[in-house]
Amino acid sequence: MITLSRERFQKLVAEAIDGLPRSFRKKIENVAVLVEDFPSAEIIEDLGLRSPWDLFGLYHGIPLDKRGSYYGNIPPDVILIFQKPLERWAGTEDEIRDEVRSTVIHEVGHYFGFDEAGLRRAERESRRSESPAEEENTDEQDIPRDLPRPHHPVRRRRPRRPPLP
């Protein structure tokens, strides 16, 4: 398992946010993105998880599409990125970077109100279409064209490798 300093890991998260399409970044308001080692016991229980290693990220808040005229003067929504499960999953810093990017995109998708199925489909399409020549950040880059209607689930579970002994 590769271990990064908190500062280095936070830089990867910041890079992932900076790498979002400009059109998305312009619409993100009142959201705090935080890094924690693991989800809390309360989160694990609320989501019915078996282990703190099963969650890479979590969006908690009121999705953009659900905000009405009443929305205002409230604490920010929160996106949590869990460092230790991501480090355990990855074998290299590049794998951590890729999965942090995917997790940030996923949780930001929940902020915009998209459901799990649509986000998973968009992630698969994004991975298939990635190439070094596409790294330039434009307004149209990575914007999925066929996402389903918004919905509001909040969890991100995706352990891909079996638990370490």
143 falls within a domain: no
Average pLDDT, the chain: 80
Q: Give the model's confidence band at 58: pLDDT under 50 very low, under 70 low, under 90 confident, else very high.
A: very high
Token pair in block for residue 29: 């308001």
61 falls within a domain: yes
CATH number at residue 79: 3.30.2010.20
Mind listing the pLDDT tens digit for each residue in 109-142? 999 988 888 787 777 776 666 544 444 444 444 4
23 falls within a domain: yes
Number of domains within the chain: 1
Does the structure show a pLDDT above 80 at 27? yes
59 falls within a domain: yes
The boundaries of the domain holding residue 103 are 6-131+149-157
Q: Find the helix or strand (DSSP H, E) in which 14 lies.
A: helix 6-18
Q: What's the pLDDT at 127?
A: 66
121 falls within a domain: yes
164 falls within a domain: no
138 falls within a domain: no
Token pair in block for residue 80: 């949590």
* Long-range interactions of 125-134: CB distance < 8 A, separation 24+: 126/102, 127/102
Mean pLDDT of 19-34: 90
